[in-house]
Amino acid sequence: MSFREDGAAAVEWAARYLDGVGDLPVLAQVEPGDVRARLPASPPEQPESFDDVLRDLDEIIVPGLTHWQSPRFFAYFAVSASEPGILAELLAATLNSVAFIWRTSPASTELEALTLDWTAQLLGLPGDWHGHIEDTASVSTIAALAAAREATGGHVVVCSEEAHSSVERAARLLGLETRKVPVDDAFRMRADAADLTDAAAVVATVGTTSTTSVDPVPALADACAEHDVWLHVDAAYAGSAWVCPELRWSQEGVDRADSLVVNAHKWLFTPMDCSLLWTRRPEALRAAFSLVPEYLRTSDEADSLSDYGPALGRRFRSLKLWAVLRCYGRAGLQSRIREAIRLAELFEGWVRDEPGWELAAPRNFSVVCFRRDASDEENEAIVDRVNAGGEAFLSHTRLNGRYVIRLAVGNERTTEEDVRRAWDAIRQVVAVP
């Protein structure tokens, strides 16, 4: 088989998968070890065909997957690899650029800077920030906190109890201490309770992982300015919502941040992985990371994006983001974000109107936190039974010590019928104990 024929078969496979993914059980219906047990323990001695790979993909790999592309994936933060993003990944792999310095991939270095500028414009961010791409928000936050440590000499990272675990992990890795600040009754950091003594950075979250709460960024920016502390904003999920002007209330004060992370792979329809990190203090990131060995010294007077983060070899991630921004445009991004929010709002209304159910946190974006008016064990059993049935995939959190069910809308293929099917599945497991 030729590359052309195999390639056509692979694209056909991808198209069929996307057409049919809504018919598959969302959560993988396998036990640990099942997939491995069906695969040979040793690699082939002789070449096999790409057809064989596709066959095993169908027969062994797909049944062992949890389908993040399913329109009824409602766990964690639901995401979408859009079609332009998928195709651009194929092209990026074809080019296989390794952009450790500008000359090893001038176009990917410059396209990365351009797409970050475009995205900043779409999201209404300051026009003079420096942006680059890391793989994940975990790594973006490591980069930001390394710069904060360099710039301030502080040794404490201040964040709320609701901040993502990646903040504490980054602090630990950098030898910094984490100081957690309590939250108010809407799960927002209590700025009045934030002690900035010896702080290197405050990490404010816009769109926390549990409830999508929004920390009071303006008050935290004031406190950071007063104490000369770095302000990093984690808007990994909710930052994409700023493409819609009506959601920019959640952006207040973000223009005063020293750094900001938004994951394009969360809610900007870009395939995993693509985490966007902006800073208004690029010199601090360079001070933390720039280290040019002899073999990479050149006379080029151009920015090398590896000077802004931990990785030297950087793949061509901006190509997929560029493809998404071009093929969707501002209008296409807005309509998808608005539809996710509309569906979450609809679901929220069903929960509110149904006796025996309660909402457990304010809904800011496309995530609904709710619970049955029953014990934690019963709520946990509802999630387990819905997930085991394969009709929808839900996740949970714990708020004020109680087990809470989360339904996160975010996949671009999700329709009203999908949300309705999830609600029916939830009520059905309650009705049939």
Ligand X SMILES: Cc1ncc(COP(=O)(O)O)c(C=O)c1O
- Cβ closer to ligand X: 237 or 269? 237
Return d(Cα 112, Cα 322) in angstroms, integer: 8
Q: How far is the CB of 161 from ligand X (least distance, A)?
A: 13
> Which H/E stretch holds residue 205?
strand 199-205
- Cβ closer to ligand X: 24 or 238? 238
Q: Fill in the per-residue mask, 377 to 416: x = in contact with ligand X (CB under 6 A), - = not in contact.
A: ----------------------------------------
Token couple for 332: 């296409």
> Which H/E stretch holds residue 279?
strand 275-279
What stretches of 47-198 show up as alpha helix (H) in DSSP? Answer: 50-56, 83-95, 106-123, 137-152, 165-173
Select from 69, 108, 109, 138 the one that contacts ligand X (CB under 6 A).
138
- Cβ closer to ligand X: 220 or 425? 220
Alpha-carbon torsion, ordered 67, 73, 78, 79, to 10 deg: 40
- Cβ closer to ligand X: 22 or 85? 85
Q: Fill in the per-residue mask, 207 to 226: x = in contact with ligand X (CB under 6 A), - = not in contact.
A: xxx-----------------
Return d(Cα 121, Cα 278) in angstroms, integer: 12
Convert 156-190 to b/e letters by CB count within 10 Å (16 or more is b).
Answer: bbbbbebbbebbbebbeebebebbbbebeeebbbe
Report CA 210 to chain centroid distance, whole Å: 13
Site for ligand X in 228-257 (CB under 6 A): 234, 236-237
Q: How far is the CB of 254 from ligand X (least distance, A)?
A: 14
Could you give the 3-state DSSP secondary structure of residue 302? coil
- Cβ closer to ligand X: 237 or 357? 237
Report CA 238 to chain centroid distance, whole Å: 9
263 binds ligand X (CB under 6 A): yes
334 binds ligand X (CB under 6 A): no
Site for ligand X in 273-292 (CB under 6 A): 275
Q: How far is the CB of 206 from ligand X (least distance, A)?
A: 8
178 binds ligand X (CB under 6 A): no
Q: How far is the CB of 214 from ligand X (least distance, A)?
A: 11
Q: How far is the CB of 310 from ligand X (least distance, A)?
A: 13
Q: How far is the CB of 132 from ligand X (least distance, A)?
A: 15
Q: How far is the CB of 13 from ligand X (least distance, A)?
A: 27
- Cβ closer to ligand X: 208 or 240? 208
Task: Identify whether the C-beta of residue 234 lies closer than 8 Å to the C-beta of residue 181.
Answer: no
Map tokens 């309509």 to a residue: 335
Query: Kind of pairing, strands 199-205 and 367-372?
Result: unpaired
User: Which residues make up the interface to ligand X (CB under 6 A)?
Assistant: 77, 136-138, 164, 166, 205, 207-209, 234, 236-237, 263, 275
